[in-house]
């Protein structure tokens, strides 16, 4: 029980010699604080040089024909030639490697009543 008494206290020589351990974190904290203040100041200067928000007359307007509405249609891929040759990229008819055209049948496919509906998870699906 002697360790909890006066003998367990830190000697004054150790505390007096720990000035670098107190001043070091204090100086690091001051440097970090100064860097954060400098970053905020720099950000305010950069933001002040940016253009302001657009004026009402600079806002986008509707086209003369009115609003453009979404068009929904069923698409199907173009067939690749079956003559045995390989197409090069510049011979493709679209921007990618698969062009599409409007499908003859515009009826949307319906889910099968007996399918799980969870992409194979076996979940409840339709309910």
Q: What is the pLDDT of residues 67-121, one digit of tens each?
A: 888 888 888 877 777 888 887 777 766 555 566 778 888 887 776 666 555 555 5
Residue 8 predicted with pLDDT over 70:
no
Across 105-126, b (16+ Cβ under 10 Å) vs e yields eeeeeeeeeeeebeeeeeeeee
């Amino acid at each position: 029980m002697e360790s909890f008494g006066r003998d367990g206290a830190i000697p004054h020589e150790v505390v007096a010699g720990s000035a670098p351990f107190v001043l070091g974190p204090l100086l690091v904290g001051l440097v970090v604080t100064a860097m954060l203040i400098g970053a905020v100041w720099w950000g305010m200067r950069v933001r002040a040089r940016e253009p302001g928000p657009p004026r009402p007359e600079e806002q986008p307007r509707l086209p003369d024909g009115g609003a453009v509405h979404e068009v929904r249609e069923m698409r199907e891929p173009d067939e690749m030639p079956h003559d045995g040759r390989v197409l090069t990229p510049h011979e493709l008819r679209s921007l990618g490697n698969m062009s599409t055209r409007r499908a003859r049948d515009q009826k949307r496919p319906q889910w099968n009543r007996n399918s799980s509906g969870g992409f194979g998870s076996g979940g409840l699906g339709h309910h």
